[in-house]
Structure 1
Amino acid sequence: MADSTRVSEKEIERRESYIRAGNRERKLIDPFTWAYPWKGAAVTFGISLVGALLHNRWNKKPYYFAIIPRSILVAAVTGLGYAAGALRERHYQTRDAVIEHYMQLHPQDFDHFNDRNGRPFSQVLLPWYPRRTQYTKYD
């Protein structure tokens, strides 16, 4: 492969660490940098709040109708969303730990990942032979 297309090891490590969850800098205006529990809480808060407002609108009530019970319900649903996000984060951490442990136990199965610059497409792609109905022979 041409040297102009190769990327340094330092750049590859930077890219790999950037895409892993929890390694990016947290920004309040960018929800993609939030942790899973906070994403879950924000989504469930928004959905439950919009649902409560639409329910009031559907029943032709003012937006402040039954605000105390609905606030308690929105808070409870937000807590459930936070718990679901924490459960998801725990699941991904466990999955990554299991995969890393397996890779440590069986390094011979993952030798092809060490070639970070890749292979040419001629070595990756299988040859394609078109088999079309108009070319078939019937004996």
Structure 2
Amino acid sequence: MAESTRVSPEELERREKYLRAGLREVNLMDPFTWSYPLKGAGVMVAIVPRLIGVAVMGAVGYGMGSLREHHYKTRDAVIQHYIELHPKDFDHFNDRCGRPFSQILLPWYPRRTQYTKYD
């Protein structure tokens, strides 16, 4: 090797110590200088609030679903009670035959482009 590329043993030792884990001075802005427990602490700290958040959101969703179900049950009970109190107003629902669809639906005249007449 040329003399210009030769590195002193002190420089080699300094470089090796710099690259080995745990031997560099701790810098808060450089996560590669943190110890291994501190590197995983962020994940462990972040997982607990997320689990609590998921549990809270699940409980809120379950509660809202229960409230919605209660609301619809109450509404149906009120409507059923009203129908029982005023049966004459709802006799047309009991008629199984009812009106034919020809009286309900409007006439439909298909206008298709393939049947257009050209003059």
TM value normalised by structure 2: 0.48
Structure number with the bigger relative contact order (C-alpha 8 A, sep ≥ 6) is 1
Structure with larger Rg? 2
The two structures have a TM-score, normalised by structure 1, of: 0.42
